Amino acid sequence: MDIKVDARGLLSGCEYIPSPNCDERPAGAIELLVIHNISLPPDEFGGDGVQRLFTNTLDPSAHPYYATLSGLKVSSHFFVRRDGQIIQFVPCLQRAWHAGESCWQGAFRCNDFSLGIELEGTDAVPFTDAQYAALNRLAMALRAAYPIRGIAGHSDIAPQRKTDPGPCFDWMRFLAGLCEA
C-alpha cells in the first residue's frame, strides 16, 4: 500500500490520535528520523498503554509500572504496532516530545528537526516482519516528503540515557529495505 504525507504533515492510510504533547517546530528542515521502541506495560504488547501515555490518559493505578510515569508528557509522531499498524500522534510539521536531551552530528535538541517513530517492542525481543515492512513504507514516505539526511536510533542521539531501539533491531534489514524500494 502506497502511503503519503499531506500538506498538514499527516500520513494517509493510518489512524490519527492527536497527542497534546507537542508544540510548534522552530524554523528549519525536518532532516532526521529517530527510531525508538516502547511497550506498556514493559515487555507486554497489544494493549493501549502507549496510546494512553501519549494522550495523557494513562491511569497510574492500572499497573505498578505506570506510577513511575505519572506526570510524564511525551509523544512521538508515529507508533508501529507488532502487526504493522501505524498510528500517528503528532503531525510531522509539529515538534513531538520524543528525543529529550539529545545531539546528532553536533546539533542539539533533536526534537526540533526530527521525526520520532516508536516501534512496539523492547530491547530484548526481535521486531516482526510486519513492523519492518511498515517501517520501510513509512520511512520512504517521510523521505519523499522531507529532506531527511539521516536515520538514527534513540541510543545514537542520547547514548548516556537510552538503549532503544536495542540490539534486536536489525539495522541492516531495515536499511536494505530502503535501498530495495
Q: List active site positions.
A: 118
Instruction: Note whether 74 and 2 are within 8 A (CB).
Output: no
Letter string b/e over residues 8-33, b meaning 16 or more CB atoms within 10 A of that residue's CB = ebebeebeeeebebbeebeeeebbbb
Instruction: Note whether 91 and 105 are within 8 A (CB).
Output: no
Residues 84 and 100: their CA atoms lie apart, in Å, by: 26
Q: Give residue for cell 537510552.
A: 162
Other residues' Cβ atoms within 10 Å of the Cβ of residue 177: 17
Instruction: Note whether 139 and 132 are within 8 A (CB).
Output: no
